[in-house]
C-alpha cells in the first residue's frame, strides 16, 4: 500500500546528500549572478523560458510528430511543437525544421545518420584548428565510423583555406562536406566550398551551434542560402534558449525531410525532453521579436571588447581582420602548449570572471593550451554595452597583466555585475529581473 501523507521518512545521511546538491546549485547561481559569465558556449534564459522548463512537461513523452504519436495525452504538446516548427521555419528561413534534438551534438549525430553510411568519406575542420569534437573521430564522426579528412587551415584568416578545401573535396569526393567550428570568429567562405561539394555529389552540412543566433539575427552569414543542404545547431549559445538542438534544411524534398525527421526519432531520440522543446518554442517567439537587435549588439560588443583587450596589451588573435565577426574573442597568453591559457582561466575565475582555456593554432594539448576563448553573449543578454566592455577588459588586465590579487578584483567584478541583473531581449518586462537561483 502507498504510504500515507506524513509517514515518509529519510535517513539524515540521504537527506544531507540532497541538501548538498541544492546548496551547490544555489552557489553556482551566486557565482554567475555576482560574476561575469564569458564562456562562449553558454547563455541564460528568459523568465518565461525558465517557467515552462519547470512545468509538468518535464516528465512526459511524445514520441513521433504532431498528430502522429505513439502515446495518448499529447494533444496539447502537439500544439506546442506545431507552433515551434512554424516559428523555427520563420526565424531561420528554412523550408524544414525539426526542434526535437536534445543538443547540438545529438543534431550532428542525427544529420550524419541521415547523410552517410559507415565507411563513407567526410571532410571537416580539425579540432586543432577549432573544429568541434563531434566533427572528429573521437565524437559523432567516429560514432558513425566515417572516414575523416580535414581541411587545410588559413591561420591568419582563422578559416579553412578555401582553395585547399575545394581541392580536398574534389580529390576524395566525400559523402558529406561538414563546415563549422567550436572556435568560430568569422563566416566561412561557404559558397565556394559548397560548389565544390555539389560538383562531386556531396551534401553540405553546416554546424552553426555557436553562431545560430547570429545567423538567425542576420549578422553573420546565411548558410541555407549559401549552399548548405542542412544546418545543425544548439539552442543555448548565441541563440538564447534552453539546452537543446535544431536540425534545419533548405530542401523542400518530402523524402529528404522524412529522412531527417526519422534520423531524430527514432534515430537518436526517444524522449526528447518536452519541457526543453517548449522552452525552445518560447525562445523562438522571443527571438522573432528581439533577436535581430540582440544579435547586432552581441557582435558590436565582441568587436569592442576585442579592441579594448588589445589596447590593454593582450595578444588578441585575427587583428588583421578586425579580431572577430561573431560573439567570440581569442587571446593568447603564452607559448604553444605552455598551459598559459589554463593558468589565465584559473586566475580569472578567482576574480569572478568565468572563461575557458582553449587550444589555438599550433597547440596540440587540450589540457595545457596557450589561449582563452571568450564570449560576450551572456553579458550582452543582461544589458552590457561598449562602456562595460572597456571596463571588463580593464578587469582582465588587472588580473593577468598587472598581477593584482584576484580577490580584490573580484569585489569590483561583483560591483559591476550588481548593476546588470535584468535579462533583456525577452517577454515579461516587469518580471524579467534576476537569475533563477
Which residue ranges form the domains of the chain, and what is each CATH number? Answer: 51-286 (3.40.640.10), 291-431 (3.90.1150.10)
pLDDT recorded at residue 30: 95
Q: Measured over all CA atoms, what is the biggest interatomic distance in the chain, rounded to whole angstroms?
A: 73
- Report the SS3 class of residue 375: strand
Q: Do residues 371 and 358 make contact, with C-beta atoms less than 8 angstroms apart?
A: yes
pLDDT recorded at residue 143: 87
pLDDT recorded at residue 12: 83
- Tell me how far apart the alpha carbons of residues 425 and 173 are, in angstroms, rounded to a whole number: 44
**pLDDT tens string 304-356:** 999 999 999 999 999 999 999 999 999 999 999 999 999 999 999 999 999 99
Confidence grade of residue 10 (pLDDT, cut at 50, 70, 90): confident
pLDDT recorded at residue 5: 60
Q: Is the pLDDT of residue 18 over 70?
A: yes
Confidence grade of residue 13 (pLDDT, cut at 50, 70, 90): confident
Q: Is the pLDDT of residue 54 over 90?
A: yes
- Compute the mean pLDDT over every residue in the chain, rounded to the nearest whole number: 95
Q: Is the pLDDT of residue 11 over 90?
A: no
- Tell me how far apart the alpha carbons of residues 132 and 184 are, in angstroms, rounded to a whole number: 10
Confidence grade of residue 8 (pLDDT, cut at 50, 70, 90): low
Neighbouring C-beta atoms of residue 302, cutoff 10 Å: 27
Partners of 96 in beta bridges: 249
pLDDT recorded at residue 429: 53
pLDDT recorded at residue 3: 59
Partners of 98 in beta bridges: 247
**pTM of the model as a whole:** 0.95
Q: Which helix (H) or strand (E) holds 402?
A: none
Q: Beta strands 353-354 and 176-179: pairing type? A: unpaired
Q: Do residues 175 and 202 make contact, with C-beta atoms less than 8 angstroms apart?
A: yes
- Tell me how far apart the alpha carbons of residues 401 and 164 are, in angstroms, rounded to a whole number: 39
- Tell me how far apart the alpha carbons of residues 111 and 405 are, in angstroms, rounded to a whole number: 48
Distances (CA, A) of 111 to 106, 177, 203, 354: 9, 12, 11, 32
Q: Do residues 236 and 244 make contact, with C-beta atoms less than 8 angstroms apart?
A: yes
Q: Is the pLDDT of residue 249 over 60?
A: yes
Query: What are the φ and ψ backbone dihedral angles of 344, each rounded to 5 degrees?
Result: -60, -40
* Residue labelled with grid coordinates 520563420: 90
**pLDDT tens string 250-269:** 999 999 999 999 999 999 99
Neighbouring C-beta atoms of residue 288, cutoff 10 Å: 14
pLDDT recorded at residue 137: 87
In this prediction, residues 262-288 reach a mean pLDDT of 96
pLDDT recorded at residue 428: 74
φ/ψ region of 189 (left if φ > 0, alpha if ψ in -120 to 50, else beta) reads beta
**pLDDT tens string 115-156:** 999 999 999 999 988 899 899 988 999 989 999 999 999 999
Q: Is the pLDDT of residue 303 over 60?
A: yes
Amino acid at each position: 500500500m502507498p504510504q500515507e501523507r506524513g509517514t515518509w521518512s529519510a535517513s539524515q545521511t540521504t537527506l544531507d546528500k540532497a541538501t548538498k546538491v541544492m546548496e551547490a546549485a544555489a552557489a553556482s547561481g551566486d557565482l554567475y549572478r555576482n560574476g561575469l559569465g564569458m564562456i562562449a558556449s553558454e547563455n541564460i534564459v528568459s523568465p518565461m523560458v525558465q517557467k515552462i522548463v519547470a512545468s509538468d512537461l518535464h516528465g512526459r513523452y511524445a514520441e513521433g510528430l504532431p498528430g502522429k504519436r505513439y502515446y495518448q495525452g499529447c494533444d496539447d504538446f502537439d500544439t506546442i511543437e506545431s507552433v515551434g516548427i512554424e516559428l523555427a521555419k520563420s526565424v531561420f528561413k528554412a523550408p524544414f525544421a525539426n526542434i526535437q534534438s536534445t543538443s547540438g551534438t545529438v543534431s550532428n549525430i542525427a544529420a550524419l545518420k541521415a547523410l552517410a553510411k559507415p565507411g563513407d568519406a567526410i571532410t571537416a575542420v580539425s579540432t586543432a584548428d577549432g573544429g568541434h569534437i563531434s566533427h572528429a573521430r573521437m565524437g559523432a564522426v567516429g560514432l558513425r565510423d566515417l572516414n575523416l579528412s580535414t581541411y587545410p587551415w588559413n591561420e591568419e584568416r582563422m578559416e579553412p583555406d578555401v582553395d585547399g578545401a575545394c581541392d580536398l573535396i574534389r580529390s576524395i569526393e566525400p559523402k558529406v562536406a561538414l563546415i563549422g567550428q567550436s572556435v568560430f570568429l568569422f563566416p566561412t567562405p561557404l559558397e565556394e566550398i559548397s560548389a565544390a561539394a555539389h560538383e562531386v555529389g556531396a551534401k553540405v552540412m553546416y554546424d552553426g551551434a555557436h553562431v545560430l543566433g547570429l545567423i538567425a539575427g542576420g549578422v553573420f552569414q546565411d548558410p541555407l542560402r549559401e549552399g548548405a543542404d542542412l544546418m545543425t545547431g544548439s539552442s543555448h549559445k548565441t541563440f538564447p534558449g534552453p539546452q537543446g538542438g535544431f536540425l534545419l534544411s533548405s530542401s523542400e524534398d518530402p523524402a529528404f525531410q522524412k529522412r531527417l525527421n526519422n534520423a531524430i526519432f527514432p534515430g537518436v531520440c526517444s524522449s526528447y525532453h518536452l519541457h526543453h522543446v517548449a522552452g525552445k518554442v518560447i525562445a523562438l517567439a522571443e527571438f522573432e521579436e528581439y533577436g535581430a537587435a540582440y544579435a547586432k549588439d552581441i557582435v558590436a560588443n565582441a568587436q569592442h571588447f576585442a579592441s579594448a583587450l588589445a589596447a590593454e596589451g593582450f595578444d588578441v588573435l585575427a587583428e588583421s581582420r578586425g579580431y572577430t565577426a561573431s560573439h567570440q574573442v581569442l587571446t593568447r597568453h603564452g607559448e604553444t602548449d605552455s598551459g598559459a591559457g589554463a593558468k589565465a582561466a584559473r586566475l580569472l575565475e578567482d576574480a569572478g570572471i568565468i572563461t575557458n582555456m582553449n587550444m589555438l593554432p599550433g597547440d596540440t594539448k587540450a589540457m595545457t593550451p596557450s589561449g582563452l576563448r571568450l564570449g560576450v553573449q551572456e553579458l550582452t543578454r543582461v544589458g552590457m554595452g561598449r562602456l562595460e566592455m572597456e571596463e571588463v577588459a580593464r578587469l582582465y588586465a588587472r588580473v593577468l597583466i598587472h598581477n593584482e590579487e584576484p580577490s580584490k578584483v573580484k569585489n569590483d567584478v561583483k560591483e559591476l555585475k550588481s548593476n546588470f541583473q535584468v535579462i533583456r531581449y525577452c517577454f515579461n518586462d516587469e518580471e524579467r529581473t534576476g537569475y533563477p537561483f
